[in-house]
Chains A and B, each alone.
Chain A
Amino acid sequence: DAGVIQSPRHEVTEMGQEVTLRCKPISGHDYLFWYRQTMMRGLELLIYFNNNVPIDDSGMPEDRFSAKMPNASFSTLKIQPSEPRDSAVYFCASSSSSGGNEQFFGPGTRLTVL
């Protein structure tokens, strides 16, 4: 299994631009999570899905952030417009309700907003 796949691995953009991060979960997993990691705030859960349906988006910082999961094998996290304080590493993780509760993380996308 290829594991959780994220793209791009690095993204540098200018303030005000739209940013789209992509995630492919492990096949068969029914939960998908988006996290943000910074030195100041640590690892924060932004939103998570179960069977493609958003369950809890209380961690999404502002309306500038949106996430979708159109099917079981793909999810996007969009920031529009981006701001310098959005600079962070964004992780996608997936898990299976029939598994052992552990989450499998992707390699992350390092976002820099200038």
Chain B
Amino acid sequence: SQQGEEDPQALSIQEGENATMNCSYKTSINNLQWYRQNSGRGLVHLILIRSNEREKHSGRLRVTLDTSKKSSSLLITASRAADTASYFCATEGDFGNEKLTFGTGTRLTIIP
């Protein structure tokens, strides 16, 4: 089964609103990453948060990590139509061997 499970599976919001996606995982991690996938394209790395970090920002993205609950959230502020995509969390185990385990993804649709 997938290490990461995203919630919700699908999300539709109006342009300009904030979008929040959650990810839960099962085992100890070295870091957790978020990726975006536009339809018919490869995945693109968005942001990485290490196990000793609790929050990280990058532009309109805010990621939080709670290792005690084995969960993470991705917040996209002031959403734009171009943010329409699938978003995946991925975890690297604490062996640090570069191997990532991807979650099931959240399909985000921004309504203009």
**A97 at the binding interface (Cβ < 8 Å):** yes
CB neighbours of B97 from chain A (8 A): 55
Binds B, one of A13-21, A43-51, A62-70: A43-51
How distant is the Cα of A35 from the Cα of B42 in the complex, in angstroms? 11
Select the stretch in B60-68, B71-79, B100-108 that faces chain A: B100-108
Contacts of A4 in B (CB 8 A): 42
**A interface, by DSSP: helix, strand, loop or mixed?**
strand
Interface residue from A43, A48, A107 paired with B102 (Cβ < 8 Å): A43
Contact of A104 with B by CB under 8 A: yes
Q: Quick check: B88 and A43 within 8 Å, CB to CB?
A: yes
Q: Does A106 have its Cβ within 8 Å of any Cβ on chain B?
A: yes
Query: Do the beta carbons of A102 and B98 come within 8 Å of each other?
Result: no
Please give, as numbers and ranges, the residues of chain A lying within 8 Å of B41 by CB-CB distance. Answer: 107-108
A101: B residues at CB distance < 8 A: 30-31, 33, 48, 92, 98
**Is A75's beta carbon under 8 Å from chain B?**
no
A50–B92 CA distance with the chains assembled, in angstroms: 16
Say whether A105 contacts B44, CB under 8 Å.
Answer: yes
Interface size on B, residues (CB 8 A): 22
B69 at the interface (CB under 8 A from A): no
Given A45-B99, A45-B100, A50-B98, A91–B42 Cβ distance below 8 Å?
yes
Q: Which residues of A contact B33 (CB under 8 A)?
A: 101-102
- Measured between beta carbons, the chain A residues less than 8 angstroms from B100 are 33, 45, 103
Is B2 interfacial (CB-CB < 8 Å)?
A: yes
B56 interfacial by beta-carbon distance below 8 Å: no
6 A-B contacts, Cβ less than 8 Å apart?
A4-B42, A43-B105, A45-B101, A45-B102, A91-B42, A102-B48
Residues of B within 8 A of A (CB): 2, 30-31, 33, 35, 41-45, 48, 88, 92, 97-105
Known contacts A45-B102, A97-B98; 9 additional CB pairs below 8 A are A31-B98, A33-B99, A48-B98, A91-B43, A95-B98, A101-B48, A102-B48, A103-B45, A105-B43
